């Protein structure tokens, strides 16, 4: 589980820094936990989060912690499933309104 979480972090982090893939982390949301690379729990508190995420409408934004939701699974760099239970989560995120607050703690 921890290895899976680290793989997801590396995938998102490295893709954001890559010159060829200079774009936001493209995320696809699935309804099935078995399809997901990671189960994600959304918290109300930034201090609890592994990642502080900024949602963008533009796939060209390229900062760590910036997520762009894609409609197609084939375009996604990561497939996530939102869970209601913190104990099930591989990744705990907090959504921010400000792009400069976006970051991930490894």
pLDDT at residue 9 greater than cutoff 90: no
Q: How is residue 82 written in tokens?
A: 């939102």
At 59-68, the pLDDT tens digits run: 888 788 999 9
User: Is 33 or 13 the better-scoring residue by pLDDT?
Assistant: 33
Domain enclosing residue 90, as ranges: 2-104
- pLDDT band for 14, please (50, 70, 90 cuts): very low
- φ/ψ (deg, to 5) at 3: -65, -40
Q: What count of residues does the chain have?
A: 106
The per-residue pLDDT of the chain, averaged, comes to: 84
Model confidence, pTM: 0.77
Tally of domains within the chain: 1
């Amino acid at each position: 589980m921890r290895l899976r979480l680290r793989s997801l972090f590396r995938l998102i982090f490295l893709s954001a820094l890559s010159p060829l893939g200079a774009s936001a982390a493209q995320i696809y949301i699935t309804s099935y936990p078995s399809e997901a690379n990671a189960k994600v729990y959304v918290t109300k508190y930034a201090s609890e989060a592994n990642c502080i995420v900024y949602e963008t409408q533009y796939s060209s934004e390229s900062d760590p912690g910036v997520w762009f939701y894609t409609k197609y699974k084939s375009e996604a760099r990561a497939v996530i499933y939102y869970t209601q239970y913190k104990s099930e989560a591989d990744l705990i995120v907090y959504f921010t309104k400000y792009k400069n607050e976006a970051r991930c703690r490894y």
